[in-house]
Structure formats: structure tokens, C-alpha cells
Amino acid sequence: GSVTAMTVFFPLDTARLRLQVDEKRKSKTTPAVLLEIIKEEGLLAPYRGWFPVISSLCCSNFVYFYTFNSLKALWVKGQHSTTGKDLVLGVVAGVVNVLLTTPLWVVNTRLKLQGAKFRNEDIVPTNYKGIIDAFHQIMRDEGVLALWNGTFPSLLLVFNPAIQFMFYEGFKRKLLKKQLQLTSLDAFVIGAVAKAVATTVTYPLQTVQSILRFGRHRLNPENRTLGSLRNVLYLLQQRVRRFGLMGLYKGLEAKLLQTVLTAALMFLVYEKLAAATFTVMGLKHSRRH
């Protein structure tokens, strides 16, 4: 379900990334940005870098859930888990995931943006032949540590689910004061709203994360390539100075559309697959609200 949803709405992520990384690209509606990309770079341009992203997503999900369940088995040991324990385990699993999979996300960010028609002349173009070649060139030209560009904001973004969970529970308590239980629609709506709030709050960090992962900007007047964590505050300050506070939120519309629509399609695919599986197994698929 996750892979299907990511594939269908992949162009939204392309639009978001272009607006984050290319400072001089004018902020327009998401459809306008996508049409601009297609006109300049071809019909398949919004899907450039699809395979590396899907590969990274699968690896990232595996690392996260394997770490989470392994730690849970060691800590809980047959006892009932609590919300607090799950939250702590989620943060720890998130940190492990960031440290192990950041090189994959750095490479797929580079590949997604390769061949893009940038408005910013300070961006250094790349010429990678694929995932392996990208790893080789980055290590050769920029050093091994360049594969972990954007780690600091990524670690901070581990708290994104915690923010989402906090708002979800708050909305849930308010609804349960008016009704006995949540319906599936209620759960989806408050989940989508909570995710939208968490995304909006942390979006400036996501912008910095994308810029650092891409790593092909030159800092003026030093004319050197970004790559170290100390540039996070510099990037935030420069963004606000040049474009105002809203400069930190370029591409937010595409990100929110992608987040909500991906979640909706993911749950739809999940329900259909689950129903089909239960039918094949000869079991009744019960719905709980």
C-alpha cells in the first residue's frame, strides 16, 4: 500500500523537492509547477528517481520496524506495552533508521534532481549513471561523510511522529467527549489533520534537510559546497533574509497534498488487500471502529 501510494503521488514529491532546493524557482500552485517541469524536461521528468526512492523507502521501513519490534521484544518481554514505552521505542528506532539509511536518501535526492532545469546558477550539476555510481562519485569527490549530509535535521525530524501523536490524541479526546467511539472516517480525518499540523511545524527542517542532502549549492561569497551540519542555522537565516518567513515553506502545499492523499490511498489499498486475503483464506474480515 505504501509503495503504491508513493508511486501514484510521486510527482507531488518532485514538485516539493524542486521548490525546496531551487531557491530561485517561483512558488506557484503544485499543478503549475508540475506542468512547468513537464514542459521543460519531458513527460517522465516528475517520475525521475522513482526507483532509488522506492528502494530507500523499503529499506527505511524495514530498518525502522525491525529495530522497533526487536527493542520492544527485549524491553516489554511479554508484558503489556504502554503508550510511553512505544513513544520512546519509536524515537530510538527513528534515530537508528536515520543513522543507517541517510546515505540512501542522500543518493536518491541527487538522482531525483539530476537533469533538472534549475533557476539557481549556484547549483553544481551532477552526472551519475545510477545508484552505485552516485555512491562512488560522492565518496570520491566529497568524502564519505558527505553521505550523511542532513543527518542533524533528520534526527530532529524523528520527533515529527511524536508531534503528530500528541495532536491526534488531543483531537481524539475532544471527539470522545461528544460520542462513545470513533468511526473509521473520524480516525482518518483526525489522523490527516494531526499529520498536516506536524508537517507544517517541522517543514522548515525538512527544507534544510533536502538542501543538505542535495549538497550541490555553493555558499557565496566563499564559493564552497555545502556539506557540514553547522550550515543548518546559516541556511535558515539566509532563507528568511532573502524570501521572508514564507521562504521556509516553499513546496508545503505539495507536501501536504502528498501526505494526505498518500495516507488515504495507502489505507484504501490496505483494506482491499486485507479483504481479498481474508476471502481467499475463507475467513470473515471483521471491521472494528
Distances from the Cα of 286 to the Cαs of 76, 216, 263, 276, in angstroms?
28, 51, 21, 12
Residue whose grid cell is 526487536: 70
Digitized pLDDT (tens) for each residue of the chain, 289 residues in all? 678 888 889 999 999 999 999 888 888 889 999 999 999 999 999 999 999 999 888 899 899 889 988 888 888 776 776 767 777 888 899 999 999 999 999 999 999 999 899 988 888 888 899 999 999 999 999 899 889 988 988 998 988 877 877 787 788 888 888 887 777 777 778 878 888 888 899 999 999 899 889 988 765 444 444 445 567 778 888 888 888 888 889 999 999 998 888 777 766 676 677 778 878 877 654 444 4
Instruction: Quote the pLDDT of residue 286.
Output: 46
C-alpha grid cell, residue 243: 524570501
Provide the residue count of the chain.
289
C-alpha grid cell, residue 132: 552505485
Q: Provide the CA 143 distance to its chain's centre, in angstroms.
A: 25
pTM of the model: 0.80
* Dist CA 148 CA 229 (whole Å): 10
* Dist CA 252 CA 255 (whole Å): 5
Q: Residues with Cβ < 8 Å from 84, sequence gap 6 or more?
A: none
Residue whose grid cell is 501510494: 5
